[in-house]
Amino acid sequence: MRKRPAISDIADKLGLSAATVSNALNGKKNVGEKTRGKVVAMAKKLGYNPPKRNAEKNATPSHRKHATRHTRKHEEARSVAFLFPSLIENELDYFMSEINLGIREAARDYDLDPHMLPFQMALGSKDLNFLKDSISNGHLFGAITIACGGISDTLVATAKKAKVPVVEIRPDRKAQKGAVTFDIERGAELAGKRFLEMGAAYPAFVGGLSDQTKKIGFRKGLGPLAKAVVEDQGGTTFHDGRLAFERLDPLENPIDAVLCANDSIAIGFMKAALESGLDIPEDISVIGCDDVRVAQFYHPSLTTIRLNPMEIGRSAVELLKRIVEKNDDTGVLVGCSLIMRDSA
């Protein structure tokens, strides 16, 4: 099934931001006529059509007849709360930022109003109560949350108790009801197979978040090399990637292929490797995870596991809308792939 063109597709083709494209298509005055003309022409070329904003017009007679007061209450509300863990300090969380962008883009298309509510994993009772109140008393169309255990489980339970429609975003190999899932295990498996094809002999894994799933997939892809994997604790940031390079010390230890838990770690690792005099990928190959936009612009460009974070965000809003308007919580599995560039 052919994917419906989105605002992000127009933005990528023209080298514009999604916000500029959205403003141009919606007739906002802060966009010049020349730019607006280019946007409209590209939208027509790609076959872009804004999603229907009034689902009631397209609802079947039986849907109209059986719609409950509860459903209509959420249809009338237009606010969507996105609750997500703030996991990276002092640096931008590129993966979460692109999920945010996907949510905002879809929300604009559906005339919804997104509210971003980040939280710390070590959350005090006062802050937790604020988030719970935001869900229970926020007059929401619905809520979207990143599944990370603990606090996110509490927030999902709060939403369900208050009868607020909720969608979870989580890593999984299969689609799950009421959730948007992405198959990070399969992505890590593809990375392991790539290193095996390249003839690597000394693989390493630099950790971060959702590590266990990535490790399983990576070892599966490496096959006979699985037992040779050296592990480093890693982290989340560019600086953590540099520190991982120093700990693994490929200049002294036999390491020739590294999978990093995210793209920021991978870029920090590569920068340290290049500064030490190593060539990439001749001396050491590096693969990242996420495929955030900065990955393609670093030199050498980063081979990485594409998790499609913007599509994840869009899919979460679309699933939430389906739950509210059609009582359909069929889960969505967003595919992943290995994007081949220069680093491996």
pLDDT band at 231 (very low <50, low <70, confident <90, very high): very high
* Percent residues over pLDDT 70 in the chain: 87
Structure tokens at 161: 């108790």
Give the domains, in start order, of the chain with CATH numbers. 1-50 (1.10.260.40), 184-306 (3.40.50.2300)
**Based on the number of CB atoms within 10 Å of its own CB, is 35 exposed (0-12), middle (13-18) or buried (19 or more)?**
middle
Angle CA 315–321–325, to nearest 5: 150
First to last CA, the chain: 31
- The average pLDDT across 3-26 equals 78
DSSP conformation class of 199: T
Residue 64 has pLDDT above 90, yes or no: no
- Indicate whether 262 pLDDT > 90: yes
Give the 3-state DSSP-derived string for 134-197, with helices as H, strands as E and coil as C.
HHHCCCEEEEEEECCCCHHHHHHHHHHHCCCCEEEEEECCCCCCCEEEECHHHHHHHHHHHHHH
| Range 120-125 average pLDDT | 76
Helix, strand, coil % in the chain, rounded to nearest 5: 50, 15, 35
Contact 162, 136 (CB under 8 A): yes
**C-alpha–C-alpha distance, residues 344 and 331, integer Å:** 33
Query: pLDDT tens digits for 130-148?
Result: 999 989 886 899 999 999 8
200-218 pLDDT, tens digit per residue, is 999 999 998 768 899 999 9
Give residue 58's pLDDT: 43
The rounded Cα 70 to chain-centroid distance in angstroms is 30
- 85 pLDDT more than 50: yes
d(CA 168, CA 83): 10
Report how far Cα 33 is from the mean position of its chain's Cα atoms.
33
pLDDT in tens, 47-61: 887 654 444 444 444
State the pLDDT confidence band at 299, using cuts at 50, 70 and 90. very high
Confidence band (pLDDT; 50, 70, 90) for 68? very low
Residue 301 has which token pair? Answer: 């460009």
| CB 218 within 8 Å of CB 187 | no
Residue 304's nearest CA partner among 273, 270, 334, 253 is 270
Cβ distance 303 to 339 under 8 Å?
A: yes
pLDDT above 50: residue 23: yes
User: CA angle, corner 199, sides to 281 and 218, nearest 5?
Assistant: 85
Please, what is the average pLDDT of the chain?
A: 87
With cut-offs at 50, 70 and 90, classify the pLDDT of residue 123. confident
State both tokens at 321: 């809308």
Considering the entire predicted model, what is its pTM? 0.76
Across 127-141, 263-277, 309-323, 326-340, least confident range: 127-141
Q: Which range among 18-27, 108-117, 206-215 shows the weakest confidence by mean pLDDT? A: 18-27
With 70 as the cut, is the pLDDT of residue 326 above it? Answer: yes
Task: Name 120's Cβ contacts closer than 8 Å, sequence gap at least 6.
Answer: 85, 86, 127
Question: What angle do helix axes 125-136 and 151-161 make, rounded to 10 degrees?
Answer: 30
Predicted confidence at residue 6, as pLDDT, reads 79
pLDDT exceeds 50 at position 165: yes
Q: How many residues does the chain have?
A: 344
